[in-house]
Amino acid sequence: MLMAEPLDQAAGLRRMARPRPVRVIAITSGKGGVGKTNVSVNLGVTLASHGKNVMLMDADLGLANVDVMLGLHPVYDLSHVLSGERTLEEVVCLGPQGLRVVPASSGLQAMSELSTAEHAGVIQAFSEISSAPDVLLIDTAAGISDNVVTFSRAAQEVVVVVCDEPASITDAYALIKLLNRDYGVYRFRIIANRVHSAQEGRALYNKILKVTDRYLDAALDFMGVVPEDEFLRKAIQKQRAVVEAYPRSKSSMAFKKLASKADSWPAPAAAGGQLEFFVERLIMASQKETGASI
């Protein structure tokens, strides 16, 4: 018994030193132009302001705009990581409240059509991060491309941003249907963006819920709303997060509620507690992509 005590203490110290699991959240939409990136940016800044170590990856790999929305001017981006010119940590930009932004390239079609091997390059880059974040936000492209499917499948939480337009609702359902039926994604969080009231947002959510309940084996959760807000437009023009530029605006208060809700989700379980969860699931998603039919 006396000999076992130091071993028990060492095991306890290792457990105490183990980093907390990383919460990986994919923020996506079926249709472009619904405000998905704006949601990603403001959730990221809000969570960072609460003392979280937050990394926001721009996964719209060919049409990146997270850096533009925050007025950042990155010299390097993910294309330089894939080419081997830079490490992931060397391309990270520091945004408001200490938010770490992983910029992607804009106007490079090849980046929007990554092969399995190139996805593996992105994966490897994340596995080499020395300081794992508490929260990794993935701002995906819109639609149902391979990139969107891969990153959404790899995340622990999938947040779908939708607005009250027929095309937005139809395309959001199409994305949920694809991820659920073909790839086994079960839970989706819904944000109703640019609505005029909480009631309008709830009604929008119910439209999608009615169809998914009938045709899919999926669980939808109403995460909340972001109201139509002139201050949000002004913040975008200033290339700033509205939660920083106009912290008392209606949209800022909404983003703070959404961030609090995300922070209250059950803690993820990940082997080793680092980015292995994201890395392993992204590897599996990439490997299966070539054999999956869309």
Neighbouring-strand partners of residue 135: 23, 54
Residue 276's pLDDT is 60
Contact 243, 255 (CB under 8 A): yes
pLDDT category at 81 given cuts 50, 70, 90 is: confident
For the record, the structure tokens of 122 come out as 């992105």
> What is the C-alpha end-to-end distance of the chain, expressed in Å?
59
**C-alpha separations of 240 from 65, 89, 98, 259, 294 in Å:** 13, 23, 14, 18, 37
What does the pLDDT look like over 174-213, one tens digit per residue?
999 999 999 999 999 999 999 999 999 999 999 999 999 9
Give the lowest-confidence range in 6-15, 24-33, 230-239: 6-15
What does the pLDDT look like over 232-290, one tens digit per residue?
999 999 999 999 999 999 999 999 999 999 999 987 765 444 466 666 666 666 666 55
Distance CA 34, CA 48 (A): 24
Domain residue ranges of the chain, discontinuous segments joined by +:
23-265+275-289
Lateral strand order in the sheet of 157-162: 93-94, 100-102, 54-59, 135-142, 23-29, 157-162, 187-195, 219-227
Residue 121's pLDDT is 65
Distance CA 134, CA 136 (A): 7
Residue 285's pLDDT is 63
For the record, the structure tokens of 50 come out as 């609460």
What does the pLDDT look like over 150-172, one tens digit per residue?
889 888 999 999 999 999 999 99
Range of 10-19, 86-95, 230-239 with top mean pLDDT? 230-239
In one-letter notation, the amino acid at residue 11 is A
Residue 58 backbone zone (phi > 0: left; psi -120 to 50: alpha; other: beta): beta
Half-sphere exposure of 73 (CA within 13 A, CB side): 0
For domain 23-265+275-289, which CATH number applies: 3.40.50.300, 3.40.50.720, 3.30.110.30, 3.50.50.60? 3.40.50.300
Distance CA 59, CA 101 (A): 11
Mean pLDDT score across all residues of the chain: 84
Distance CA 177, CA 188 (A): 11
